[in-house]
Structure 1
């Protein structure tokens, strides 16, 4: 089976691999495609067995190869208005529309479509394909895959994570941690709020704590930082609680996210929040209602990507793209997981991150063409 990048992208988009659902149909298609070209792949399933990562080596089992990393999952289309079927690749005005076309099945399609070229080139150093699940919900799937690859795969010289960057180098991004907070209050009639504990009012104070700490970070930001914004951010994405205007709420919950610049630890901010809850908030609540309290539950974490002085991955991307600019972003990727394994890592992929998660998500055909030139250059580099 020989597919162009566009044909491969159409196949991949047709699999509705929303993170809440299984990705196995897509993974099995990729496994069978690789097998048809004589390339063996390994699956790393999740505990439930309804999702899997896939990794494979094209070329000799030698050290010094390059990992091409992408994720197979996409975000939902629920509540979005699309001009065309989100799971049917559709061309309009030089753009290819479909869920995941940009984030990030475009890169996956390029890596897979060029497998026959890799085989024909007689690579002296291999290409390792690494395709994950559940990137969109905290990079959870790739953890086990990276661990297994580190144990089984000859050490590569570089990892390229193909998140959309318009084929520009990204050598650093923020790390993050997110968590759920549930406030357990004590309900009474609002006329006697002095005898109750309002979960919604306590939650409001805790949400404001996040904003206050972010303001502190903003005031202390290094103006030379390349990040936008140039400081660690704290954000609360939703809050739910209460039942009526005249009832003191007994429950309120919200979700928080910390996105830290690489010189700061997102877990340290979560620890500060937990200490504030433990030392300041809960004692006040329990003076009125001993059973009141606050529960904090981990949701997800993404390791940051640190710029590497003279890193092999950065040198490779610069050589293949001609990009000499400094590139850092505030969004997270799986790159930090590979870097944590001791592998030089950078981000470079087709498309614009502004399209990620949007209705009528698209990738420009010109971006796929730039990605194809990158793949040809990489193959030539590994065959030399």
Structure 2
């Protein structure tokens, strides 16, 4: 199948993170199998989703191309085209996932279809995951299988949208839930009871103070924006009625940290009020790759200067295996997660041409 029909099929799978991605994985696995790849399916712990690892060719080294299959929801967004069908408007192609990141998957599948006729000198590998949009929840269930199944690639390219610039770094993230305990009672006797909102508010102020301290004194990377770790309180819930002292409050917050930092160390410096329990609800590592290890990719780019990303990806997991890893894909995240999400068709063809040159280089 040509590139655009491949993208049309991929967009047609409504792989919102709340739904199963199994139909897409079945179809993509069949496409790769027909192209001569050895395909290994990796089911999720819940059994309703899956990823895959696929390899073409023999011998050491090679290139790994990685993507996630899930997309963000469309509910509450003002779409003017069908979100799960490919629609052309002039030079742009619209549909959920065109940019983030089924456009890259379409390029990978189009590349795969031509490898059997002209096999490259080194192996080509593919990794497709699930639930990246929920905080990279799928890839941790796959990552220990990558090298045993695929071997050790010389390069991993995670195809998130970067306008085909080579991104060598981004922050990691840890998400937390704080449960604040109190005792319920009538508000007319409020001083007799412990109001769960009070330690919650104290914790919010402590998080704010920690952010101010990081801005003044924290470890810095001038290529990141902001240049230091960030602490953010996003959701606070508590109370059932104005005349009832709340006995429980919940606060959701996050720490986004430089790749060389540990979020638990930042958390340890934040005073936690009495009666508060904090649990980590999800995390993914940052990325910090030496550009000197990415020469095979950089030499093929019109602009080889490395950049760093504001958003997170799965790349840190592959880098954690010791694989030189970059984020480089078609489109820009400014178009991702938006109503009428779209990508320029020229970006897709440029990406496919880049992948062709990359897997045949050397």
Normalising TM by the smaller chain, what interval? over 0.9
CA separation of 1:184 and 1:224: change in aligned 2, threshold 3 A: closer
Cα distance between partner residues in 2 of 1:53 and 1:298: 24
CA separation of 1:51 and 1:245: change in aligned 2, threshold 3 A: same
For 1:294-313, list aligned pairs within 5 A: 294-308=276-290, 310-311=292-293
Aligned 8 A contact 2:53 2:150 in 1: no
Residue number in structure 2 paired with 1:73: 70
For 1:209-228, list aligned pairs within 5 A: 209-220=206-217, 225-228=222-225
**TM-score, with structure 2 as normaliser:** 0.95
For 1:19-98, list aligned pairs within 5 A: 19-58=17-56, 60-98=57-95
Q: Which runs of 5+ in 2 are unaligned?
A: none
Residue number in structure 2 paired with 1:320: 300
- Number of residues paired by the alignment? 362
Runs (4+) off by over 3 Å? 221-224
Larger helix fraction of residues: 1
- Shift, 1:144, TM fit: 2.8
Aligned 8 A contact 2:169 2:288 in 1: yes
Cα distance between partner residues in 1 of 2:36 and 2:340: 36
Q: Say which is worse superposed, 146-155 or 10-19, in terms of deviation.
A: 146-155
Cα distance between partner residues in 2 of 1:272 and 1:4: 54
Question: What secondary structure sits across from 1:333 in the alignment?
Answer: coil
Selected match of 2:335 from 347, 351, 355: 355
- Shift, 1:221, TM fit: 5.1
Query: CA deviation digits over 1:166-195, x for unaligned, max 9?
Result: 000100110111111121211222232221
Cα distance between partner residues in 1 of 2:295 and 2:227: 25
Q: Which runs of 5+ in 1 are unaligned?
A: 283-292
Cα distance between partner residues in 2 of 1:115 and 1:324: 25
For 1:270-289, list aligned pairs within 5 A: 270-273=267-270, 276-277=271-272, 281-282=273-274
CA separation of 1:244 and 1:170: change in aligned 2, threshold 3 A: same
Residue number in structure 2 paired with 1:286: none
**TM-score, with structure 1 as normaliser:** 0.90
- Shift, 1:68, TM fit: 0.2
Query: CA deviation digits over 1:331-351, x for unaligned, max 9?
Result: 111110001111111110001
Residue number in structure 2 paired with 1:346: 326
For 1:156-305, list aligned pairs within 5 A: 156-220=153-217, 225-273=222-270, 276-277=271-272, 281-282=273-274, 293-305=275-287
Q: CA RMSD in A?
A: 1.6
Residue number in structure 2 paired with 1:121: 118
Aligned 8 A contact 1:178 1:299 in 2: yes
Q: Say which is worse superposed, 189-198 or 12-21, in terms of deviation.
A: 189-198
